[in-house]
Amino acid sequence: MNNVTTIDYKAIVESMADMIIITDENGIITYVSPQWKTVLGYEASEMMGHRRWDFMIEEEARKLQDKFFPYFERRLPFYLLTHVMRHKDGHRVVIESSGTPTFNKQDEFEGYHVNNRDITIRSLSEDYESQMKEDAYATLLKYQRVITNISKMFMDSPFDQLDVAINSSLSQLGTLLDVCRVYVFEFDKDNQSMSNTYEWCKKGIDPAIDMLQNLSVDIFPWWMIKLHKNEVINVYDVNEMDEHQISEKIILMQQDIKSVLVVPMHVNQKLVGFIGFDTVLKHKKFQDEIYLIRMYSEIVGYALEKQKDEHRILESLNQVKATFNQTIEAFSSFLEISDPYT
């Protein structure tokens, strides 16, 4: 394949909605399309040189191998193989794959070209109990319904009622997830400081919003690195955080926080803040719900940015109106001074 063909081929592949993986004859990944970063959270460089099942829990890896090896051994194409991969932050991602074997000019087997689709949401409405426990399935459906209702609430809310919608959504999620606090932090335009702008607390839990204003982002060095990489912070036991997380550990322990989940808010690929969930009464393991919480984070992020745009437009209009009125007043004064009959 010459250079022009390779460049054109990559351009086509990278513009497709499907996620592409190319492997060599041993199943080692040699190419990963950019779409995988959004779905699994890994950079292409982190996936290349590995096999697909390196990104799966052991049980799911065995299931995929049992499905795939009969095709691999006979160098046959395969279609719509469903399997569960593990996102970098720990939650499950359901993938549907179809692959075609590739051969060189000497008809020697070179590997597979595999098209993949993220069918996580779709799988929730299909018969997928064989892949996950029935109670986990029911819980995810409940999460999905709540996120759907929240999305509709945001769509139906005028911008001057956005605060009400956000506070209501925090209450719904906090109650659903059985956490003690849910909160939104927003960064300033230079990402140098942050403020807690919205907070929900479980009954009996003291609010902390008033103490968390205009904080330097430098107090959370490890936290900020993760957020800028669009990675989720998922800590089951704050007491077990290591020396690289010491700044965050001290602050969280001062608030008696046992477990914490933090999801970044990105708008147009820019980090604008984060949404946090924490518990002080017991430890909590966040897992399958993370995928939908990320969706909620996107909804809130875009809503807040649209509200800011609305405010900027109104401010600009008010400035134009004020300037216009000042011009009219000045012109009127000029006419009065210049009138020879007065």
**Largest CA-CA distance found in the chain, in angstroms, rounded:** 105
Choose among 110, 125, 112: nearest CA to 81: 112
Contact 96, 115 (CB under 8 A): no
Average pLDDT rounded to a whole number, residues 93-99 = 90
- What's the pLDDT score for residue 24? 94
The more confidently predicted of residues 34 and 289 is: 34
The C-alpha angle with vertex 124 and arms to 64 and 304, in degrees rounded to 5, equals 115
pLDDT in tens, 13-60: 444 456 899 999 999 999 999 889 989 999 999 999 999 999 999 888
Neighbouring C-beta atoms of residue 122, cutoff 10 Å: 12
Amino acid symbol at 128 = Y
Domains of the chain in start order, with CATH, are 3-124 (3.30.450.20), 134-311 (3.30.450.40)
- What's the pLDDT score for residue 10? 47
Taken in order 37, 86, 17, 78, is the CA torsion positive or negative?
A: positive
Among the listed ranges 4-18, 203-217, 267-281, 293-307, which one has the minimum average pLDDT value? 4-18
CB < 8 Å & 24+ apart, contacts of 93-96: 93/39, 93/40, 93/118, 93/120, 93/291, 94/118, 94/119, 94/120, 94/122, 94/123, 94/128, 94/131, 95/39, 95/119
Neighbouring C-beta atoms of residue 46, cutoff 10 Å: 15
Q: Is 227 helix (H, G, I), strand (E, B) or coil?
A: helix
Contact 274, 262 (CB under 8 A): yes
Kindly list the strands in the beta sheet with 92-103, ordered across the sheet, starting from the edge strand earlier in the chain: 29-32, 19-23, 109-118, 92-103, 78-86
pLDDT in tens, 182-215: 999 999 888 889 999 999 999 999 999 999 999 9
- What's the pLDDT score for residue 305? 79
How far, in Å, are 86, 121, 242, 267, 298 from residue 93 at the CA level?
6, 9, 28, 23, 18
- What's the pLDDT score for residue 13? 42
Average pLDDT rounded to a whole number, residues 269-277 = 91
pLDDT exceeding 70 applies to what percent of the chain?
80
- What's the pLDDT score for residue 199? 96
Q: How far apart are CA 156 and CA 154, in angstroms?
A: 5
End-to-end CA distance of the chain: 89
Among the listed ranges 42-46, 241-245, 300-304, which one has the minimum average pLDDT value? 300-304
Q: What is the pTM of this model?
A: 0.55
